[in-house]
Structure 1
């Protein structure tokens, strides 16, 4: 132990880089972001010394992810741009799935920074590239592309549409958000099935969007279906799915069912120790009591 680790000395430079990257990922899992940064800088130094392009790109990508998790948006933006630049200069196509994922992260960063024009351009660029790519993939019938790759590419488009939909919804563009959610839900349903957690979340999000557009019957049917599946499958986001359903019922002035759904949501939120969702549920219950009281006074 005093003279170092002989096993480490016997490793090739590439093995040492891989070991550092694994250690960095472990630090992230432990929420030790400073430790992760340290390991990644060590890995980057070695990768640059070895002129190992793939290792450099991968390390930059991980560094960008860590910066994003740490809330260092400017640093994350710079690192993602550097990663994307290195990928494209090494011959990676602009519609490569990994390149699209980074472009999507950049769009999300622009949204968080309030750079709305850049965010919209980023999301629309990603959607356009992915939709064009999928058209080309359908024309490939010689078996050179696996069905798994095609499915993953479709799911990436679904993720892009979902992210764009959430951005549009957050900015009050309800009809545009609905359009993205409809397409994202169709992809998730076809590739992953109704029981998949992501499909359920998309159903719930689309329902709240329909609710905001005044399409109450559609919203209630969809949010109710999402709640049933979430309960049957023990969905990890049950509190949020139930909360969304309760909100739709509240706007329908179905106070009794809305209250029951709010209470069910609160039960699961407290069980999961989800304080943020529990707070939103209590706000919903307060709003329900106010509306119920007004309705009772109006009926007198």
Structure 2
């Protein structure tokens, strides 16, 4: 992987309060390996390929609509590396063709191995078994979070981001918020908006970051993977008002919570806030299919 030459825009979000809010469009960095996924994979794949493995092979983990699975599959195709996805949910075997995320991943060359939720919950044992079975493979954790991923997140920051007081990101496995914390300026506070129930997240982030300049804020809004009608309304209104698409699992929940905190005067006057758009838009098609089956409102862009 090479560092893209594209200039990532930082877009102002007008507010009535004496606070400035901007969003950095990392979702535009690559058509398929978007947002934080690009940078979390950057050092993982480069360090692996520097070893000149005879038959490069990447194995990773994810659910049915995983942004990480989609990104690794696209990376494999672009790099000429074979990929295997360990997918949570044995019931998906034989039905993955009807899942937009998995179908696209398969089109990009990824093979799948479906495991039960119980097997998936013990990823340490799964990883150990896979490393024995495929001794020369690069095994990347779920969500891509590891030390190499944290190192790559530094590229979300540049001279343009130094003037902000708050750096905000959605949090799944913790790698992105840990990277922002580790490489932030001394005066900056990092806010991670949790979309999962994971009591170990704060410890994980602190260990990967090595700093205590961050806070984790609950933004689950019904739980991981859950999409409430309020969240759909917010995402649709945000697009109508600002022309920016948000995904319902990560960035939609983060931006909605940021707006709530602004209304609650969480941020001091004249604060400069920067939110990172970490991608995830590939999952909207699958989300809308699920919502359509339940006769619920859809996420609608350009309408």
TM-score by length of 1: 0.24
Quick check: which one's strand share is greater?
A: 2
Quick check: which one's helix share is greater?
A: 1
Structure of larger gyration radius: 1
TM-score by length of 2: 0.24
Tell me which of the two structures has the higher relative contact order, counting C-alpha pairs closer than 8 angstroms and 6 or more residues apart: 2
